[in-house]
Amino acid sequence: MRRILLAAGLMLAAVTAKAEPVPADWDAVLAEAKGQTVYWNAWGGSTTTNDFIAWIGSQVQSEYDVTLEHVKLSDTADAVSRVLAEKTAGQDDNGAVDLIWINGANFAAMKEADLLFGPFAEDLPNWRYVDVDGKTVRTDFTVPVEGYESPWAMAQVVFIHDTARLPDRLGSMAALADWTRDNPGRFTFPQPPDFLGATFLKQALIDLADDPSVLQNPVEDADYDAVTAPLWAFLEDLTPNLWRQGRAYPQTGPRQLQLIADGEIDLALSFSPGEASTAIANFQLPETARTFVLDKGTLGNASFVAIPYNSGSKAGAMVVANMLLSPEAQARAQDPGVLGYGTVLDMAKLDEGDRAAFAALDLGIATLTPEQLGPAQPEPHPSWMTRISADWTTRFGVAE
């Protein structure tokens, strides 16, 4: 009887092992993915982004019989908490989340807690097109990716201004504070811990810090009070001169653009260099909108997708991740009439037809050239965003 039980146990282990798709065996991945439904938990605050995700869904449905359901999030941390709660409850199979749009602190937390499936990213067929040398696709906010998430878009901070009311660029955070002092109520940023609002805090800290390189290390390794003192002094000066005197904040990035369109503010923040051109094309911003970066440069990073360890549709999730890396999808995402996101692909690795598709794109009247954008500043270690966002809430936060 003991031998029978042992044999049964070994057979069960073998079945369990087979249940995990092998990323390098792509034919097997495609076979397993057929008929699966993938619940992609992704930010849902932008109509253009939602439309692009729906287009990705139509592609994987028609080509691979994979159904993509967009679970719209206001905060990526909600999906991370869901996976963590499932692990705590022992739900190690068929979790509610199959794919997450993720980066930064959320990725670091999931990786640290062993909540991710992988490595898979560098086994995707379309990985061969990725620019691994020129783009930050193997680290995420200083954390090594190691194949546990797949990139799909590049972003860099730009400031969007209505040149009809603010004709000239501002070269630094100090210049921004001076301008708001002379033009009270004409600038705001999304309320942290919103990702874009927290990004504004990081961008200000980098621009004001005596030695920004300290931000590449965990926050506990630095003299936090000394490093952040210029940030808090800047915000003390800035906040009374914000829209509604800093007593209220827009909850999302798109809400900023609406405030510009309504003539309430003249300056907003974006993490997409092409967003202003896209918004102009969609009649969401006036044609006088333009973008600029700071003299010292601005933050840049990649957006990734990751697969939770307990997804029941890992094969389908990999199919979606691979589709996001296809030259067709990347060119569509870079089109300012669609999204205006930067590509993660290396043009030298594409065939002539695909390169021509990128070259034919009109990046838009408000989009800076790569030369004008300049080198992107590296993201701080994710612990900095968590700490300064919490401190901002204590010091300046308002009730929602």
pLDDT given at position 399:
61
* DSSP assignments along 276-317, one per residue: HHHHHHTTSS-TTEEEE--TT--BEEEEEEE-BTTBS-HHHH
Residue for token digits 């003390």? 236
Q: What's the CATH number of domain 22-152+303-362, 3.30.930.10, 1.10.3720.10, 3.40.190.10, 3.40.50.620?
A: 3.40.190.10
Q: How far apart are CA 20 and CA 116, in angstroms?
A: 13
pLDDT given at position 74:
87
Both structure tokens of 300: 């840049």
Residue pair 291/160 in contact by the 8 Å Cβ criterion: yes
* Superfamily of chain region 156-300+375-396: Periplasmic binding protein-like II (3.40.190.10)
Please count the CA atoms within 13 angstroms of the CA of 287 that sit on its side-chain side: 0
What is the three-state SS of 231-244?
Answer: HHHHHHHHHHHCHH
Whole-Å CA distances, 383 to 16, 148, 217, 219, 338: 36, 19, 9, 6, 33
Q: Which of 65, 58, 56 is nearest to 36 (CA)?
A: 65
How do beta strands 37-43 and 158-162 pair? unpaired
CA angle 125, 129, 133 (to 5 degrees): 125
**Amino acid at residue number 374:** G
Residue pair 70/49 in contact by the 8 Å Cβ criterion: no
Q: What percent of the residues of the chain are helix, what percent strand, and what percent coil, each to the nearest 5?
A: 50, 15, 35
Single pTM value for the model: 0.77
Q: How far apart are CA 88 and CA 290, in angstroms?
A: 48
Residue pair 368/293 in contact by the 8 Å Cβ criterion: yes
Residue pair 311/97 in contact by the 8 Å Cβ criterion: yes
Residue pair 103/304 in contact by the 8 Å Cβ criterion: yes
Q: How far apart are CA 126 and CA 179, in angstroms?
A: 46
Both structure tokens of 148: 């546990």
Domain spans of the chain, in order of start: 22-152+303-362, 156-300+375-396
Q: How far apart are CA 39 and CA 142, in angstroms?
A: 28
Q: How far apart are CA 260 and CA 187, in angstroms?
A: 9
Q: Which residues of the chain have pLDDT under 50?
A: 1-18
pLDDT given at position 400:
54
Beta strands in the chain (DSSP E): 37-43, 67-73, 99-102, 139-140, 143-144, 150-156, 158-162, 267-270, 289-292, 300-306
pLDDT given at position 19:
66
Q: Which of 364, 388, 206 is nearest to 298 (CA)?
A: 206
- Do domains 22-152+303-362 and 156-300+375-396 share one topology? The answer is yes
Q: Which of 305, 313, 309 is nearest to 36 (CA)?
A: 313
CA angle 300, 211, 180 (to 5 degrees): 65
Exposed e or buried b per residue across 23-53, where buried means at least 16 C-beta atoms within 10 angstroms of its C-beta: beebeebbebbeebebbbbbbebbebbeebb
SS3 338: coil
Q: Counting every residue, how long is the chain?
A: 400
